[in-house]
């Protein structure tokens, strides 16, 4: 079992001690985990940044160890259309094992929060988020895996609480997945949608299509922000990876590792 999307107190939206995350991973028999703390940028209000200090990251994680769990040091970098230089600079400042690239802010607001939905109806919101994602994946190269492709639907403020379906936005989803596949970037199966919208983010039809479009890298992650959710629903995500690819991937020093399932 693997969990390659976990936040600790280094993220602005978590207070969990990293050692509690490691203990939870040990209890569940996970083989390998990656911390992926937020390093996020607002795409419009550019002075707003939800980022950690690299020295604090180093102080927190460099000494963290476990006898049974391989611990990788990663980051969830918030992609915008203009922050390629900021990503390069971050990666120059620390040897991360894994870079998850995610789109959060869209038009100045994060869909997770209510303000975004005040300004956008459901269809407009979904389309706007996917268009923003497409622009970001066209412009960025320096990340390993695209996080939660249909994150926009996960919000508690979404009017329907339904997942964003591949069939409803197939053209633009194809463009996004084709773009990352051609760059050798992978996709994530994020399990945090299971409780929120009843499906993985994204669902198996996206993953099948990603493979058809040439995608080769697949990771799984819980997006846990505390120790209670570490590894949650990962076995279901691994079933999807097994059915579609026959393997799942992890990363060390930004190099992909394939694990046969």
- Name the residue nearer to Zn ion (CB basis): 43 or 223: 223
Q: Which residues pair with 257 in a beta bridge?
A: 250
Q: Buried b vs exposed e over 223-259: b needs ≥16 C-beta within 10 Å?
A: bbbbbebbbbbbeebbebbeebbebbbbbeeeebeee
Rounded to 5°, the CA angle 112-43-202 comes to 45
Window of 76-84, 125-133, 212-220, 237-245 that interacts with Zn ion by CB under 5 A: 76-84
CB of 260 vs Zn ion, minimal distance in Å? 27
16 three-state secondary structure: coil
- Name the residue nearer to Zn ion (CB basis): 100 or 258: 100
Q: From the list 14, 80, 102, 132, which residue makes contact with Zn ion (rule: CB under 5 A)? A: 102
Rounded to 5°, the CA angle 163-165-171 comes to 145
Tell me the C-alpha distance between 185 and 178, whole Å.
10
Strand runs labelled E in 26-144: 32-41, 49-50, 70-78, 98-102
110 forms part of the interface with Zn ion (CB under 5 A)? no
37 forms part of the interface with Zn ion (CB under 5 A)? no
Tokens 């058809």 -> residue: 212
- Name the residue nearer to Zn ion (CB basis): 34 or 102: 102
250 forms part of the interface with Zn ion (CB under 5 A)? no
What is the CB neighbour count within 10 angstroms for residue 196?
15
Window of 61-69, 99-107, 121-129, 131-139 that interacts with Zn ion by CB under 5 A: 99-107
Q: Please count the residues of this chain forming the interface with Zn ion, following the rule CB under 5 A.
A: 3
Q: From the list 146, 223, 231, 251, which residue makes contact with Zn ion (rule: CB under 5 A)? A: 223
- Name the residue nearer to Zn ion (CB basis): 32 or 223: 223
User: Which single residue brings its beta carbon nearest to Zn ion?
Assistant: 102
CB of 212 vs Zn ion, minimal distance in Å? 25
Residue ranges in contact with Zn ion by CB under 5 A = 76, 102, 223
């Amino acid at each position: 079992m693997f969990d390659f999307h976990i936040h600790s107190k280094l993220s602005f939206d978590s207070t969990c001690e990293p050692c509690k995350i490691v203990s939870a991973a040990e209890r569940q028999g996970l083989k390998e985990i990656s911390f992926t703390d937020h390093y996020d940028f607002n795409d419009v209000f550019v002075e707003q940044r939800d980022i950690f200090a690299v020295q604090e990251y180093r102080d927190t994680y460099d000494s963290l160890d476990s006898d049974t769990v391989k611990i990788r040091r990663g980051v969830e970098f918030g992609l915008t259309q203009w922050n390629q230089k900021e990503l390069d600079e971050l990666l120059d400042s620390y040897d991360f094992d894994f870079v998850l690239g995610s789109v959060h802010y869209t038009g100045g607001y994060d869909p997770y929060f209510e303000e975004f939905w005040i300004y956008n109806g459901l269809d407009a919101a979904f389309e706007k988020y996917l268009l923003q994602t497409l622009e970001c994946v066209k412009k960025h190269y320096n990340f390993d895996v695209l996080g939660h492709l249909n994150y926009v639907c996960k919000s508690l403020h979404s009017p329907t609480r339904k997942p964003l379906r591949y069939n409803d936005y197939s053209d633009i989803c194809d463009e996004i997945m084709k773009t990352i596949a051609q760059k050798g970037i992978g996709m994530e199966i994020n399990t945090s949608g299971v409780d929120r919208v009843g499906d993985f983010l994204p669902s198996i039809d996206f993953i099948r299509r990603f493979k058809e479009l040439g995608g080769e890298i697949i990771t799984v992650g819980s997006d846990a922000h505390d120790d209670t959710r570490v590894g949650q629903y990962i076995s279901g995500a691994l079933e999807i990876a097994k059915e579609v690819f026959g393997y799942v991937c992890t990363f060390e020093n930004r190099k992909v590792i394939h694990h046969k399932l």
